[in-house]
Chain A
Amino acid sequence: MSYIIACYKWVVDEADIRINPDLSIDTKKSKGKISDYDKNAIEAAVQAANILGGKSLGLTFGGPETRLSLKDALSRGPAEGCWISTGEAAKADAAVTAKALAAAIQKISDVSLVFCAEGASDTYARQTAPRIGAILDWPVVTSVSKLDIEGSTLTAVRKLDDCLQTVKVDLPAVVSVLPEINDAPIPGLKAVLAAGKKPVTEIKAEELGIDFSPKTDVTEIKGYLMNRKNIILSEGEAADKVKELAAYLRKEGVL
């Protein structure tokens, strides 16, 4: 039975990032999470596997902290998990990431469809799906807002800047989906319990024989500080707060 793969990334939750006064960033208190839109990629793979009669698999590439992601990912429906583990993930750029994912897809071998999300919450580079396609020399369909599968043909509606485009492609293919493609359900208790029993494969990245040197050289990472007045009216009657706000806005001369 062939595999339908969802690529998902375990990322630092951006809402927890603290910015120090010198603009350096502190991620020590940041929790990990499945990249927001990857939940939709996972759901798309689960649905596609139901239609194609294949097996859905969640595939992730990341450092030791990524181990935590598997149960969460599997509670969202995939039948199996696969983790390409590495100590080098923090340094990986899109070129390295796509090579690792593509090598794992080749190793899994019987794969009919690979889903990525539009973009990851941390990088939002929107590179990975087309790069995987190029490395495997498979057809690629990006920005997909609607999907139909019939036999081994996929019909997709792509949302581009100026049009909606319908395309057809024979599988295997790499597809990147927009979040509006589906509603990613919040897993219930039963799904969470079942997730712990699903099979997980760990592939050591070194076994894949890929070159881990990134092509881009990060020279600086700096936080963005929002400098605003932060006058927040939280106490008292609504009418009084509104009056106060209106007075401020008059003074600002923006009405």
Chain B
Amino acid sequence: MAGIYIYSDKKDIVAELINFAKESEKEACVITFKQEDAEAIKDFGAEKIYVLKGSSQVPENYGKAVAELLKKQDADLFAVGATARGRDIAARTAGYLDCGMVSDVSSLSYREGTVISQRMMYGGTVIQSEELKGLCVVTVPAGKFEAAVGGETVEIITIDVEADSRVRLIETAPVLREGTDITAVDTVICVGQGLDKKEDLQLAQGLADVLGAEIGCTRGIAEERKWLPVERYIGISGAVIKPKLYISMGVSGQVQHVVGIRDSKVIVAVDLNEKAPIFRAADYGIVGNMYEIIPLLTEALKNA
């Protein structure tokens, strides 16, 4: 059956993509790989729910099976949630189908057999519009569409398929999220690799306490130095925030970071290097040593 086929390891995105299919006046057909995942979404409003049943616990290993299903069903489009797993299975499916794929769309519509999409290029310097015809694949980040309001419970169709058994799962360790959501706060103090050592996070914390702010960071602080949890890093591969006030310290402001703060109301930067690109992205900036400036600023804002 033609229609928009959907996969995401995040239930919220499944609901959003069902709505996208409805807006496109296409049947929403959701693909899952576990009975329980299918059960969990059975009243989300999809027309069809498939369970592709095979021997692997890794969804990405079903790329070939998904490609075969899409071909057999004469699918219009495969829309996948843009998560690490989703991007992998989407691209493997596109590879097996030898079809077009647009990753991480910033906007998406489907009209008369044509996918119209926009996405960022060069870290966010450029916005590229693309059109694709025929069966193709897109990955869609969370929050691009309203979630479907739900519907009748539909029948779950189970299909036995073969998974790629060559990648074997040995162990899964959940990553515990701290609970703080830096996308939901009014003020963010952002630390970059200008910070000399982990203990100096105190500097940022002092200012954060005065302003009732949360601390965010650049990718290197979280992923390489591991000084802060990964959910605190901001940018094209991290969180996208829109606080009232964003203050950076020791952040050079490469575009991959700056795309994550573009919708902030006021952007303030403190950096040693007056040529740092962060100043071009800022409303207000101080060229100076943050080890001198931040304590003074903390003091000055105490009674704000």
**Taking beta carbons and an 8 Å cutoff, which residues of A are in contact with B?**
12, 14-15, 17, 19, 25, 93-95, 98-99, 119, 121-135, 137, 139-143, 155, 158-170, 173, 178-180, 214-224, 226, 228-234, 238-239, 241-243, 245-246, 248-250, 252, 254-255
Contacts and interface: CB of A to CB of B under 8 A. Distances in A.
Interface of B: 9-10, 58, 60, 63-64, 67, 83-85, 87-96, 98-104, 120-133, 136, 164, 166-175, 187, 211, 223-224, 236-237, 244-245, 254-255, 258, 262, 265-268, 274, 277, 279-289, 292-293, 296-297, 300-301, 304
B107 to A, nearest CB: 12
A135 to B, nearest CB: 6
Q: Is the interface of A mostly helix, strand, loop or mixed?
A: mixed
B175 A162 contact: yes
B100 A130 contact: no
A249 B170 contact: no
A231 B284 contact: yes
A13 to B, nearest CB: 9
| Interface core residue of B9, B90, B174, B175 (most chain A CB under 10 Å) | B175
Nearest to A231: B284
| Interface core residue of A14, A119, A220, A250 (most chain B CB under 10 Å) | A14
Nearest to A254: B245
B255 A230 contact: no
Q: Is the interface of B mostly helix, strand, loop or mixed?
A: mixed
25 contacts: A98-B95, A119-B237, A130-B60, A130-B89, A131-B92, A131-B94, A132-B95, A134-B93, A135-B98, A140-B92, A140-B167, A143-B88, A161-B84, A168-B168, A178-B223, A216-B100, A217-B133, A221-B121, A228-B267, A241-B288, A242-B286, A246-B301, A246-B304, A249-B284, A249-B304
A16 B96 CA distance: 36
Contacts of A124: 103-104, 120-121, 123, 236-237
B293 A238 contact: yes
Contacts of A241: 286, 288, 293
A167 B168 contact: yes
A245 B223 CA distance: 32
Given A164-B172, A226-B258, A215 B167 contact: no
